[in-house]
A and B are shown apart, each in its own frame.
Chain A
Amino acid sequence: MKIAALGRVAVAAAIASAALAVPALAYDGTNCKEPGVCWEPKPGYPAKNEIKGSKYDPKHDPKEINKQSASIQAMEERNKKRADNFAKTGKFEYDVSKIGN
């Protein structure tokens, strides 16, 4: 009796450890590589840095994804001209083409 019971416990333990060995079955957010880095791929899906070249490759065009920073830089430059001119003259001018150097 005693031995049989122990055997059942052992089997249960084996099942439990098998489940632990495949955490990818369940990306539950709790297995962290380092603080704040806890993402895991779902079973059958590419790992990080393996999306490129996979069937889920977003194929981002570098020209497209750099458009935002270029636009922001241009707005910041125009705004600076407006603010500097406002500070200098006391009169606000939005149209930068009317602001002298």
Chain B
Amino acid sequence: MINLRTSVSAFTLAATAAVGLAATTLPAFANDKLVELSKSDANWPMTGKNYSAQNYSPAKQITTENVKQLKPAWAFSTGVLHGHEGTPLVIGDKMFVHTPFPNTTFALDLNEPGKIDWQHKPKQAPTARAVACCDVVNRGLAYWPGTGSGDALILKTQLDGHIVALNAETGAEVWKMENSDIKVGSTLTIAPYVVKDVVLVGSSGAELGVRGYVTAYDVKTGAQKWRAYATGPDEDIKLAKDFNGKNPHYGQFGLGTNKTWEGDAWKIGGGTNWGWYAFDPDTNLFYYGSGNPAPWNETMRPGDNKWTMTIWGRDIDTGEAKFGYQKTPHDEWDYAGVNVMMLSEQKDKQGKLRKLLTHPDRNGIVYTLDREDGTLISADKLDDTVNWVKQVDLKTGIPVRDPEFATRMDHKATEICPSAMGYHNQGHDSYDPEKQLFFMGINHICMDWEPFMLPYRAGQFFVGATLWMYPGPKGDRQGFEGLGQIKAYNAISGKYAWEKMERFAVWGGTLATAGDLVFYGTLDGFIKARNSKTGELLWKYRLPSGVIGHPMTYTHDGNQYVAIYYGVGGWAGVGLVFDLTDPTAGLGAVGAFKNLQKYTQMGGGVQVFSLNGKNPYDDVNVGEWVGKGG
């Protein structure tokens, strides 16, 4: 353990030295400013807090000892219902809050959080709502710190397909571009991501046959820098000359068209990316996953369907892919591979210090890859009840499928685990670098599945499967509860330090702190804190509505705050949100979550906590209106 820590420190030192050198020889890129900002406990400037996307804070004012004194400090209603995913950003004295459709943005003054500095309320075509598969959610904002010639910006995506840059001081629109066209079923729910002077934008719509792509825009002008697709010819997919050079058995060139698809099916082949990103300034690669192939009916698209369901390492400047590892060849279960990427530096089983990425996938496997070349390090089951795959062969990278749990036309498959909602979904989890543990919010849902034939019409749903979902073997299948788990996992040993069951799926992700705490929100309306060493439940608070975002923490005026969105929704909440009762409605989610409405209703807002509820209004005169007479 001591040795390991020493090595990790050495690694960090080397990285710091490299950054230092770069800083003296090159003009500072904006991303260096973001790296600096993310080092301070006062800021939370991007999804995942920093480029490693660990959702980890070194702040330790709030600890296992005093977490019981955590009380609400202040709250803010967004004025919007529906699912509130993601987490607010905090930079300096400002908190930036986003909402689901119509994607309003608020800037709050942390010295006086009752004051809305500005708000940006876009006008969007209401028809955008009709082509959103899984509630009208949005996963967050991005921040660009500005340069000498450009003001700081807030970047946002809109459901109607626009990427917009706002002046961070005033909220005024600086530029606005069209990324996705709702007329063909293409929407945006993903949070933008800023690296250097570009902003990355993903895509949504595989349930409407949208072929996925990721796009980089010049953050200052909105000009498109590059665009890379998930399927099709190699030049569209943007493969580097040495793509998968280190792991040629993953497949290399010419696989995006008819070698793994029949005919032109790749043109409507899905592979959208609406999850999360991570970035490593040393490799210059950003990491993300492409989603499921379309349609869900597997019989209509023979082949491995590359490069859907793939973990990508792409160069941020050129967009070229250095590696791509397909997790679920020829998907038969909608295991959209877009989940969170968390970076770490750990010693592998041979004692070699490696730069890693860890990724808990929808398919029930948590993958750890060498993030320099894509080499597979470990692939463990999220729960021992995963059954579609016997194991993942680390040498070949191939998942060994169990044909009993495959899906196909003219057949109703039963008892498949995980379900299409996955054993892990969009939640952004956390990693504690001291303990070398990943804290993962897990789903425990299985399913029956029967595909059906359907035509493709641009702008219409293109799913082609009927699903029945229910609690996994460890839940209560009569009472329809016990649909979630939270676990602490070591990616090298593959061991779980602790595992706890939850009433509903832990949909929103987790936050870890140096106070030995792991925070997360639940669908039934609580924020909870567990001891990150033991998993013991130490504290919880009843929020106005269920949670589908992840908690964040920041320090302001010497006080550590924990903030979280409430507002149930998302796929898990579609039954409640749209008043559906047919168990197969909402792509099968309605049945699984039929009891959710007994515990929560819709809502929308931010709730902020601190020790004993300490907050700027402890001085009761703060924020009071004072007339001319005093």
- A and B, one complex? yes
Across-interface contacts of A45 in B (CB, < 8 A)? 299, 408-409
Determine whether the beta carbon of A60 is less than 8 Å from that of B264: yes
Q: A26 an interface residue at 8 Å Cβ cutoff? A: yes
Chain B residues whose CB sits within 8 angstroms of the CB of A19 once the complex forms: none
Which of chain A's residues have a CB closer than 8 A to the CB of B248? 35
B409 adjacent to A68 (CB under 8 Å): no
Q: Pick the contact of B221: A35, A37, A83 (CB < 8 A).
A: A83
* Residues of A contacting B500 in the complex (Cβ-Cβ under 8 angstroms): none
| Interface check B538, CB cutoff 8 A | no
Q: Determine whether A38 belongs to the interface, using a CB cutoff of 8 Å to chain B.
A: yes
CA distance A39 to B183 in the complex (A): 33
Question: Which secondary structure dominates where chain B touches chain A?
Answer: loop
Contacts A51-B262, A62-B264 given; does A41 touch B302 at CB 8 Å: yes
Q: Is A65 an interface residue (CB 8 A)?
A: yes
Q: Are A36 and B326 in contact (CB under 8 A)?
A: yes
Tell me the residues in window 251-304 of chain B with beta carbons closer than 8 Å to chain A beta carbons.
251-252, 255, 258-260, 262-265, 267-268, 299-304
List residues of chain B with CB within 8 A of the CB of A56.
299-300, 409, 453
Q: Are B268 and A38 in contact (CB under 8 A)?
A: no
What's the minimum C-beta distance from B376 to chain A, rounded to whole angstroms? 14
In the complex the two chains form, is A80's CB within 8 Å of B224's CB? yes
Answer whether residue B184 sits at the interface, using C-beta atoms and an 8 A cutoff.
Answer: yes
Option from B175, B178, B400 in Cβ contact (under 8 Å) with A30: B400
Give the distance to chain A from B198, nearest Cβ to Cβ, in Å: 13
| CB atoms of A75 and B178 under 8 A apart | yes
Q: Are B299's CB and A39's CB within 8 A?
A: no
Residue among A25, A36, A48 facing the most chain B CB atoms (10 A cut-off): A36
CB neighbors of A among B207-225 (8 A): 210-211, 213, 218, 221-224
Residue of A nearest to B390 (CB): A28
Query: Whose C-beta in chain B lies nearest to the C-beta of A69?
Result: B267
Contact, CB under 8 Å: B398 / A38: yes
Q: Is the C-beta of A100 less than 8 angstroms from some C-beta in chain B? A: no
Known: A29-B400, A39-B330, A68-B181. 14 other contacts (CB 8 A): A29-B401, A30-B400, A36-B252, A42-B408, A52-B263, A58-B301, A58-B453, A59-B455, A62-B264, A65-B264, A65-B456, A68-B210, A80-B224, A82-B222
* Other-chain contact of A51, B174, B177, B302 (Cβ < 8 Å): B302
Query: B127 to nearest A CB, angstroms?
Result: 15
Confirm or deny: A16 has a beta carbon within 8 angstroms of a beta carbon on chain B: no
A55–B221 CA distance with the chains assembled, in angstroms: 51
Contact of B221 with A86 in the complex, beta carbons under 8 Å:
yes
CA–CA, A47 and B173, complex, Å: 53
Q: Interface size for chain B: under 10, 10 to 19, 20 to 34, or 35 or more residues?
A: 35 or more
Q: Interface size for chain A: under 10, 10 to 19, 20 to 34, or 35 or more residues?
A: 35 or more
Asked if B183 contacts A71 (CB within 8 A), the reply is yes
B263 touches A60 (CB 8 A): yes
B400: which A residues are within 8 A, CB to CB?
Answer: 28-30
Q: How far is the CA of A48 from the CA of B613 in the complex (A)?
A: 63
Contacts of B250 in A (CB 8 A): 35-36
**B251–A35 contact, CB under 8 A?**
yes
* Inter-chain contact A26/B403, CB cutoff 8 Å: yes
Q: Is the CB of A36 within 8 A of B255?
A: yes
| Chain A proximity of B373: nearest CB distance (Å) | 16
B456 — which chain A residues lie within 8 A by C-beta? 58, 60-61, 64-65
Cross-chain contact of B181 among A35, A64, A75, A84 (Cβ < 8 A): A75
Does B458 touch A at the CB level, under 8 Å?
yes
- B residues with a Cβ closer than 8 A to A are 173-179, 181, 183-184, 186, 210-211, 213, 218, 221-224, 227, 248-252, 255, 258-260, 262-265, 267-268, 299-304, 306, 326, 329-330, 390, 393, 396, 398-403, 406, 408-409, 453, 455-458
Q: A58-B456, A60-B263, A71-B181 are in contact. Are A35 and B252 (CB under 8 A)?
A: yes
Cα distance, A46 to B1, chains bound together (Å): 55
Residues from chain B with Cβ under 8 Å of A60 in the complex: 263-265, 268, 455-456
Chain A residue nearest to B177 (CB atoms) is A79
Chain B residues within an 8 Å CB radius of A39 = 260, 302-304, 329-330
Cβ-defined contact, A36 with B299, below 8 A: no
A97 CB to nearest B CB, Å: 14
CA distance A45 to B260 in the complex (A): 17
| CB-CB nearest in chain A for B179 | A75
Tell me the complex Cα distance, A90–B4, Å. 53
CA distance A25 to B538 in the complex (A): 51
Contacts of B399 in A (CB 8 A): 29
Q: Is A5 an interface residue (CB 8 A)?
A: no
Let me know if B401 and A48 touch, CB within 8 A.
no
Write 5 A-B pairs (CB below 8 A) sorted by A numbering: A36-B326, A37-B259, A49-B262, A52-B262, A76-B227
Q: How far is the CB of B57 from chain A (nearest CB, A)?
A: 36
Bits for A52-96, please: 1 = Cβ < 8 Å to B, else 0: 100010111110111111011001101110111011000010100
- Please, which residues of chain B bring their CB within 8 A of the CB of A67? 184, 458
Contact of A76 among B224, B251, B258 (CB under 8 A): B224
State whether B304 touches A82 (Cβ < 8 A).
no
> In the complex, which residues of chain B have a beta carbon less than 8 angstroms from the beta carbon of A68?
181, 184, 186, 210-211, 267-268, 458
In the assembled complex, the Cα of A62 lies from the Cα of B174 at a distance in Å of: 39
Query: Which of B252, B263, B396 is most buried by chain A, counting CB atoms within 10 A of its CB?
Result: B263
A51: chain B residues at CB < 8 Å are 262, 299-300, 302
Alpha-carbon distance A49/B301, docked complex (angstroms): 10
Q: Is the CB of B224 within 8 A of A65?
A: no
